[in-house]
Amino acid sequence: MTSTTNAISGLLADYIDQGAVGASLTFALAGAPAEAITAGLADRSDGTPVTPDRLFKIGSCTKTFVVAALVRLAQDGTIDLGAPVSHWFPDLPGAEGISVRQLVNHRNGLPEFEYYIPMDPSRVWKPLELVDVAFKAGGQKRSGGPAVYNNTGYVLAGMLIEEVTGQPLGGYVRQVVLEPLGLRDTWSPATEAFPAGQLVRGYFHRPPPAAGAPTDIASGGEMWRMDGVLPYSDALQDSSDAFPYSAAYACGDMVSTPSDLVAFMRNLFAGEVISPRWFEEMFGARAPASFPGTRMRETGAGLFQSSYGDRAFYGHQGSIPGYVCVIQHDPESGLTIAMTSNVGSGNRLSFQASGLHPVVDKAIHAILD
């Protein structure tokens, strides 16, 4: 074990000691093999440790895969990213003014569903039902305005991919991204079978809110409607099945390992997934973004510029009840890093939701300084 991996092992051990359950981190420098480090437990009930091959839910990091698949359709001449989505969704309000590109760059003006979706672990959602939840919540704005984080556009992008290709979304992502790159530990459970026994259990912190505490998300209010699924408790609760994969779909259903995530990002930036010209659709033309509780500062399509380790990195972060994930790449140093955790919270400001970010910061310094 190198001094760097020893240092990162210590960081992960400290993270577990502070209250996390398990963690998995992989990093790779340009031209060098990837190194994987793990800590903690995959399952608290039987003490199973986390190993590099264990799957984690990656939440919104799914979006980077979905956009790569969408842009591949444009590269192949199958779709026009500038075309209005009314061609596929004629009944969608404002569809004539929303381009395919805007579905995935957070500038579509569509209402959001994530904070309003009723939690029902047994329900199988159809993608259009998620869109209906968003429009019942309301709040649609004109497209092309300031970037506002939006999951609804990704649901529509997934539906568009399925209609154009005639395949389930996971099958198409597998065909054009996963299989060509040899990624064998990444799956889209909403639309394909996956090895569920390889998934780590997820644990959620939902303490009773303090009297008079603010309820808006930016100030620590709950992101998800957990009433009836998990009670308030100061203890961590198993939330592995709280948010059904079908409710996450194209905006957050995937499971993976940090090693697969690092391989994906390295190849994406190297032009092995889509050509460099088309990669600019994801990386270029970024707009300023300020999404509460995140480090995202500029948005492209499926990629954000964020600050980690005092550097500008590009990638995504994701959370889903009981899991948090970060994937990042620094073109300047050639460092790619991914970290997953099986603890989370609906309070974005809490340790359970955000405690892995300082670990990534320190790991980057350990690798590059």
Cα–Cα distances in angstroms (integers) from residue 254 to residues 70, 169, 318, 367, in the given order: 16, 11, 10, 28
- Residue 218 has a pLDDT of 77
Residue 270 Ramachandran class (φ > 0 left, ψ -120 to 50 alpha, else beta): alpha
Strand 203-206 with 343-345, pairing:
parallel
- Residue 180 has a pLDDT of 98
Query: pLDDT tens across 295-341, in order?
Result: 889 999 999 999 999 999 999 999 999 999 999 999 999 999 999 99
Domains with residue ranges and CATH for the chain: 3-368 (3.40.710.10)
Q: Could you tell me if 64 and 316 are in contact, meaning their C-beta atoms sit under 8 angstroms apart?
A: yes
Tokens of residue 249, six digits: 């779909």
- Residue 93 has a pLDDT of 97
Strand partners, 112: none
Determine the average pLDDT of the residues in 53-63.
98
What mean pLDDT value characterizes the chain?
95
Cα–Cα distances in angstroms (integers) from residue 28 to residues 6, 35, 161, 302, 368, in the given order: 15, 6, 31, 21, 11
Residue 176 Ramachandran class (φ > 0 left, ψ -120 to 50 alpha, else beta): alpha
* Run of H or E residues at 35: strand 35-43
- Residue 211 has a pLDDT of 85
Burial 223-247 (b: 16+ CB within 10 A, else e): bbebeebbeeeeebbbbbebbbbbb
Say yes or no to pLDDT of 293 above 80. Answer: no
Three-state SS at 96: helix
- Residue 217 has a pLDDT of 82
Least confident range from 65-74, 119-128, 218-227, 301-310: namely 218-227
pTM over 0.95: yes
The CA distance from 324 to 317, in Å, is 8
The residues, ordered by sequence, that sit 6+ positions from 197 with a Cβ below 8 Å of its Cβ are none
Query: pLDDT tens across 3-20, in order?
Result: 899 999 999 999 999 999
- Residue 205 has a pLDDT of 97
Determine the average pLDDT of the residues in 48-58.
98
Structure letter (DSSP) for residue 229: T
The CA distance from 297 to 96, in Å, is 29
Say yes or no to pLDDT of 1 above 70. Answer: no
